[in-house]
Amino acid sequence: MTLDILIRGGYVITMEGPGTGVINDGAVGVKDNKIVVVGPTSEVMQNYTAHRYIDAADTAVMPGLIDVHRHTGDTIVRGCAQDLPDKDWMFKGVLPLLSLATPEEIKLGSKLNIVESLKTGTTTFGDIYTPMLEIVKNHVDLKTRAVVSGMINQLPPDTSRIDPSVPYPLDPAIGQAKLLDNIQLVEQYHESQNGRIQCRFAPHASDMCSEELLREIKALGDKYGVNFFTHLSQSPKENNQVMMRTGMRPTAYLEKLGYLNDRLMVAHMTYATQEEVELVAKSGAAFALCSNSLCIIDGELPKGQEFLAAGGCAALGTDQAPGNNCNIMFNEMKMTALLHKFKNQDPTIFPAWQVLRLATIEAARALRMEDKIGSLRAGKLADIILVDLDQPQMSPVTDGPIRNLIPNLVYSARGTEVKTVIIDGNIVVENHELLSGDEQQIIRDANAASKRISSTLAESEWSKTLPLAQLTQEGYY
């Protein structure tokens, strides 16, 4: 058989089996959008020829990284809501700024954010945002794989004056508009682009939607046969709001509404009890572990370790730029390992091989796509990255009796070592150059949009009450 692409002579990290499944001097063959063969280079070369050969000497060849929980649309205000008290991050940090951005500006920020991750090895994005009808076009253009949903809530545009001690002023008209967008998204994009784009419904969190809306979203997901994302017990505010409105805590409330099953992925559960974590894990729902984001926003680790210990399926997410500040999965892997080691005062927690699984095969499982992506195996979709090991921070490479490849990838790589990215059989990054878009133009466009938002902010009186504007004024930033 003649392949389209044959990558040969690399360290092939298959992510098959219980660990990372490394083949020294391995090869991967691609035809159309599928992986056809994976094995030792000598064997593969005996049986296959190719239209194009990629020499992978001094290179790790591995599945594309999967970021299961992400809000690319927040990027236009990257770095503008950092180091705030956790009670203020959302309502006095991020949301007031984003309320000044137009859908087009949010789309430009999202595109920048996708490029940041694509060039550092992320091939699949669990992207949740409103207006997703705009943002999804970025995934189409840049040729990324994405599981997308609108983020449905009923919050008013100006959240800076919300008093969390009384029930939120939910606005049904806002919820309906966002729901209609999500319906259109599903009808227009689900399974589109050769299956690269999958859609879901995503109630933002149970405190930000009325019961009527939550029931409507659930019924629509069932009708269209698509899955769900939501945030769960992400703040004490959420627990209090749901308790005020329903007399229940968010987990019990979602269970009552029929959400807790293997079609749901939840994020965070930072303020859930151990019993709640176990209940969700046993329900079959998946968990998005966003360690960096929650440490920056809340100074807390989300309940991923507990979720895994309860037998649940968890995977890594980078959440959003104004929280995490950085949407590079190599950074997420390293920090996830380090933060959990520190929390547990135990260096054996979250070893490198495990966090790499949480960014690849386990992430595919969490998205219910393990039969398609997450490992290098004949028959799976061709989402493959090549990582340059011929770099000071990646050297030396030892093959045995100790193989240091996986620790080096998790603890040393910064993401910039990724030189080639293949998604669905298409080469979208080659020799560090983005082929599916004009990177410099994308950066320029996002900077121009950010400047416009800043000048609108400068004209408003209320901007002076924003904590980071005050600290900037005082010379701290």
In the complex, minimum distance from the CB of residue 81 to Zn ion, in angstroms, rounded to a whole number: 14
| Backbone Cα Rg of the chain | 22
∠ Cα 289 373 324 (to 5°):
30
Cα–Cα distance between 123 and 146 in angstroms, integer?
8
Cβ-count burial of 151 within 10 angstroms (0-12 exposed, 13-18 middle, 19+ buried)?
buried
Residue 206 dihedral angles phi and psi, to the nearest 5°: -70, -15
Rounded Cα gap, residues 390 and 403, in angstroms: 16
**Binding flags for Zn ion, 303-322, as an x/- string (CB under 5 A):** ----------------x---
Residue with Cβ nearer Zn ion (59 or 270)? 270
Q: How many residues bind Zn ion (CB under 5 A)?
A: 1
d(CA 477, CA 465): 16
The residues pairing with 63 across neighbouring beta strands, listed in sequence order, are: 384
| Residue nearest Zn ion, CB atom distance | 319
- Cβ closer to Zn ion: 11 or 271? 271
Nearer to Zn ion, 59 or 159 (CB): 159
Of 437-476, which residues contact Zn ion (CB under 5 A)? none
C-beta of 131: minimal distance to Zn ion in Å? 16
Site for Zn ion in 8-27 (CB under 5 A): none
Nearer to Zn ion, 26 or 322 (CB): 322
Question: How near is the Cβ of 110 to Zn ion at its closest, in Å?
Answer: 14
Nearer to Zn ion, 216 or 319 (CB): 319
β-bridge mates for residue 26, sequence order? 10, 40
* Shortest Cβ 226–Zn ion spacing (Å): 19
* List of residues 6+ apart from 384 with CB closer than 8 A: 7, 28, 30, 35, 61, 62, 63, 64, 376, 421, 422
Q: How far is the CB of 71 from Zn ion (least distance, A)?
A: 6
CB of 449 to Zn ion, least distance (A): 22
Phi, psi for residue 239 in degrees, rounded to 5:
-60, -45
By beta-carbon proximity to Zn ion, the closer residue of 59 and 292 is 292
Dihedral over alpha carbons 319, 324, 326, 331 (to 10 degrees) = -90
- Which one, 48 or 259, has the nearer CB to Zn ion? 259
Least gap, CB of 130 to Zn ion (angstroms): 13
Residue with the two structure tokens 């796509």: 369
Q: How far is the CB of 406 from Zn ion (least distance, A)?
A: 28
122, 287, 259: which is closest to 201 by C-alpha? 259
Phi and psi angles of residue 218, each rounded to the nearest 5 degrees, phi first: -60, -45
Question: Tokens for 425?
Answer: 């059989």
Q: Among residues 207 and 319, whose Cβ is nearest to Zn ion?
A: 319
Residues that bind Zn ion (CB under 5 A): 319
